[in-house]
Amino acid sequence: MGAGRERAALTYPRGVSADVVITVLASGLFTGALARLAVPGPDPMPLWLTVAIGLTGSIVGAVVARSLFDDSAAVTSIGSLVVAVSLVVAYRRFVQHRPVWGPEALRFPRRGLGVDQARARLEKLGVDPDRVGQPGLVPVRPEPPTGASRPSGPGDAENHLLALLSELHREGVLDDAEYAAKRELVESRQRPSAT
């Protein structure tokens, strides 16, 4: 554009500019994300649902806050967040059929929008979604044995440890000195003590 010319704003019918639309969507995303973070436990849902929860919370919360407390920006923001958190709680209770607090709230959901896709992604990464949120359990799915049976006796356990050490050394996790020290430690367990 030449000097002295102003660039016309991109507008939608009724005079709403694209800047306003982008700002409103970003605000909805921010409010929805904060609401999801405020409720403990995983809530996998599509991005559009997070934005919808944030926008609905912002609109309803702003209307209620302004009608009760005039035009206070802080009260409007808090009201928007409270309504958005309430929507996430309602989604969890009535769509996912899960508790809001307690140990079961930390478990990965079985139903809801986007849950099947999230479960498939976790399983593809080797994480068992049903073990997520259980205290004391590592959610990684154990690797199936490759042809050999699991160690059953004390000698088998040491041989299994030596095989694991060898694999860690081969993959570069353990250097030569660490590998030799750990191997010596395992082999010293195998030797009968002279007591």
Q: What is the per-residue pLDDT across 16-26, written as a single tens digit (0 to 9) for each?
A: 778 888 888 89
**Tell me, what's the pLDDT at 138?**
47
What tokens does 71 get? Answer: 């035009």
String of b and e for 112-123 (b: at least 16 CB within 10 Å)?
bebbeebbeebe
Same domain, 44 and 100: yes
Give the three-state DSSP class for 17. strand
Mean pLDDT across the chain, nearest whole number? 80
Q: Does residue 106 share a domain with residue 29?
A: yes
The CA distance from 194 to 89, in Å, is 65
Nearest to 81 by CA among 41, 44, 22, 39: 39
6: in domain: no
Place of tokens 């209770």: 93
**C-alpha span between 42 and 2 (Å, rounded):** 53
In this structure, the answer to whether residues 98 and 166 fall within a common structural domain is no
Q: What is the pLDDT of residue 72?
A: 78
Query: Considering the domain boundaries, does residue 141 fall inside one?
Result: no
Kindly report which listed range (64-68, 93-97, 144-148, 180-184) carries the lowest average pLDDT score. 144-148
Q: What DSSP element (H or E) covers 81?
A: helix 73-94
Q: Provide the number of structural domains found in the chain.
A: 2
pTM for the structure as a whole? 0.58
* Cβ pair 139, 151 in contact under 8 A: no
Task: Give the domain extent around 98.
Answer: 13-111
In a domain, 146, yes or no: no
